Every structure is written in structure tokens, then in C-alpha cells.
Amino acid sequence: MTTISDPHVPAVSAEPIEPQLLDRDASRSRLAVVVGVGLTLFAVLNATAAIYLYRGISDLRTVEGRLEELGTFEQRIVARLDTVNNGFQSRFEKLDSQLQGSFNEINGSIARLEQNPPPTDGAGTSSVSEPVAATGTVMEASSSTEVAAEPTIVDTPRPPKRRVAAAPPAPNPGYQRTETPDGKVYYRKIN
């Protein structure tokens, strides 16, 4: 077989050329770069997580501090409410004791009146007293014509004073009065 060689044309070899997949020196450097980049990313992720974790812990401490302050605030409010409650309770107890004293005094007066009835003239009057109208003057007993030594005055509420409506003022001749069917009154100036 003859070969024609041209110096400008590259030579073709009969052996198949296999590309070198892995070069030992190049593959080691590539592996080192990949591992370095991976470790760098891992370190950045860990640093970011640590920063967020530190912020979360500091926020948690702040919230715990505020919750402790809230507990003391609640205790102060409870103490003040107890003070107010005790004040009201003591006032109610004081009013209750005053009412009980008044009731006891009234009951004692009623018992004394039942034991010692008021002196009567004994002219056949019953032991039950009849209501007596108050006139604001000395009362007369219904069975006798004598005036009692101590007049009995019944406390009755005064009737409310009636206010006398003043007469409406005379209409002004410079205005005309108009009353509508629904009861409203209007005045119109006359020119």
C-alpha cells in the first residue's frame, strides 16, 4: 500500500484515539476544588444557621424577661384589687353593722312601747292605736276633749308643690303666630 503524504494535511493514524477521561493530576485538583466549594457552602450555611439561632435565643430571652415583668405586674394588680376589695368589704361591713344597730334600736323601741303602752285616759279606748291625721297643730284625742300633754305628730311626706304656670306673654304685634295641625307654633315677622 502506498501512501501519499502531503505535508499540509495532518497524518491519520490507524489506531483509534481514546480520550483520556481522567488525568490524575487534573482530577485531584478538580476534586479539591469541588470539596473546597462544598465545605465553604457548608460553613456559610452553618454560620447563617448559628446567627439565626443566636437571634432567636436572644428574642426568647427578651420575651421571657417581659413575661416575668408581666407576672410582677399581675401581682401588683392583684394586690391593688385586693386592697380595693378589702376597702369595699370593710365599708359594707360598717354599713351592715350600722343597719343592724339601727334595727336593734328600732326593735328595742318597739319592745319598750309594747311593754309600756302610752298613757291613755282609760275611757274605753282599745289598745290598738288608730291612725291619726296630722294637721301640724296640737292633736285632739277622739274620745276626750282634753288636749294631750305631748301631741302625737305623724310624719307624713309633704305633698309636692304645684307650680302655677305663668300666663304666656302677650303676643308681639310685630310677629304673626301660625299654628300647624300637628301642634307646632311658628312666628313670622311682619314688615
What's the rounded mean pLDDT across residues 95-113? 91
Say whether 187 sits in a helix, a strand or coil: strand
Give the tens place of pLDDT for each residue, 137-166. 444 444 444 444 445 555 666 666 766 667
Reading the block at residue 51, the C-alpha cell is 446567627
Contacts of residue 189, defined as CB under 8 A and 6 or more positions apart, other chains included, come to: 174, 175, 176
- pLDDT at residue 86 is higher than 80: yes
**Given pLDDT bands bounded at 50, 70 and 90, which one contains residue 133?**
very low
Residues 120, 142 contacting (CB under 8 angstroms)? no
The pLDDT of residue 21 is: 56
CB atoms within 10 A of CB 153: 13
The amino acid that residue 116 corresponds to is: N
DSSP string of 111-168?
HHHHHSPPP---SS--SSPPP----SS--B-SS-SSBPSS------PPPPPPPPPPPP
User: pTM of the predicted model, to two decimals?
Assistant: 0.31
Query: What residue has cell string 489506531?
Result: 15
Residues 138, 152 contacting (CB under 8 angstroms)? no
Residues 149, 140 contacting (CB under 8 angstroms)? no
66/191: higher pLDDT? 66
pLDDT over 70 percentage in the chain: 61
Residues 180, 186 contacting (CB under 8 angstroms)? yes
